[in-house]
Structure 1
Amino acid sequence: MTPIPRAPAARRRRSRITPARIGVYAFLVMAALFFLLPLYVMLVTSLKPMAEIRLGTLFALPRQATLAAWGVAWQSACTGLACNGIRGGFWNSVFIVVPSTVLSIAIGAVNGYALSFWRPRGAALLFGVLMMGAFIPAQVMVYPLVRLLAAAHLFSSLPGIVLIHTIFGMPVMTLLFRNYYAGLPLELFKAARIDGGGFWRIFLHLMLPMSTPVIVVAAIMQVTGIWNDFLLGLVFAGSENLPMTVQLNNIINTTTGERLYNVNMAATILTSLVPLALYFVSGRWFVRGIASGAVKG
């Protein structure tokens, strides 16, 4: 039999370049430039001295790059009458985000695992109640929660805000993990039960190691939502602790006399540093988690 001649490698590579592919890449490049342009302007402005900013060269690279504005934004930028920079609010946000994210993901994972595989009596009703909590506006529950925290002596404290964020995050986390576990083969669970695995052993040794993609999705959702929160940090911090979070701290930064645009830009970048770093580090896991069950019904 006569072998079929194969096209040269260079010709095969050229054949893949089509007008549709060129159009897709052009659109992606334009979209990337559109979204990265504000970040670029913020970054170069934060590295310029005010004398250079007054020249109006918005898109030009700094002639004399300096990190002085970053130091001022972190240590001595004024928020009202206090000139302590954004470092206090930044660390408060970290102390709120870390336990709130860990607790809400842990509770949501256990709830989703139990509702997907063990299905206790009344599981459907419990899941429906949790979903009602996920779609009730937060403003409706603010006043009752303020009264409850005040009665428990947790109002106007970091543990109180952590508890509130955990409560608000639990329904969505339960939905996320339940949908993910519902897409896993039921035979894995049955085999583990036959081998004598109990509730916690199956969860810790079988389900949790398989949950890395959805855990990353849940972490990105929780960190972004809690870090960018205004309402809960404003209400539950109490008037004596404002501004407690870095977002509230940055939004009311004040100055007298000259407007320090480089300090403002540096403070804004520092404020958004944690969500940006999380997206850059775990971007591929986020896509994998979405594709592997996060949006399944």
Structure 2
Amino acid sequence: MKHVYPLADGGLDPLAPTIFHESWWLEAASGGRYEIVEARRAGRRAAWLPTFTRRKFGVKTNAPPRLVHFLGPAVDPGEGDAASRAYARAALTRELAAALPRGVIHSYKCDRFAGDVVAFQLEGFSTALQFTHELGPAPAEMLWTAMRKKKRSQIRRAQACLRIASIDDGGTFARFYADMQAARGKANYYAGEPVAALVDESLARGRASLLGAYDGRGALTAAAWILRDGTSAYYFMSARAADAHDGAVSLLVWKAIEGASARGLAFDFGGVSTPESVAFFAGFGGAPAPRVRLARAEGPHGAIWAIRERLRANRHLC
């Protein structure tokens, strides 16, 4: 069964709390290869979770694709007082956890709304905290003042020699990203993924900004793809030329933060993946924000996977 849900009349739809829960994103990011588990109440969907089961070398795994950075259960507990809603949320979440197939290695990095994870623990899942970095919704002037002095200086120097403009073509961004990764001797984590198509779709839906930093010759030296939904803007992907100004990406991020501030959105740096990113994000102020990771690994293959996870150097990073 695919994902079909009624849009809320206003405010946040609890069954689509992030951009990564929306059907158009899931379809493109997974190539249409996803299913769902769901729980229903009174003939309507009350909770759901996408699944992405794959088999490789005889091992079944279920984990979101690379272009889905965060994803957890979406639950609508319905009407009632706080206690009634909490009880309903826990029961619905337990149904989802129980519906996930056994004998599969499951792994999810959850979004900010996935706080009720005890239900998953009761179904044999392990839980751990990983971290992203966030700036809360605030006026741009306040965010600028809260930034490290060194970061503000770097951005000012970049502003003096770079022009920031929108890029309106996903292919341009995808090619630039791939070329810059290759030129810098870095692996392209998104090779083979539908980056260009998703950029174009997100721009057409008004759910993204695509920003470029151009030098005095008019050459593109850095670019950033920023996503947004009803609560947050996400620093999703960026690339820079090896000879770009050292503040080029910082300037693009600051422009994205200004845009998020104007819309009343939090700014989510999209996961802390390396020690270098910890230092880079901290320069903008804000604070680390926890995200729950859910995992269940059974059988001999699961035991091997669990050992590898415990030994992974960056296991506490998103």
TM-score by length of 1: 0.24
| Structure with more of its chain in helix, by fraction | 1
Higher relative contact order (CA 8 A, sep 6+): 1
The structure with more strand, counted as a fraction of residues: 2
Report the structure number with the largest CA radius of gyration: 1
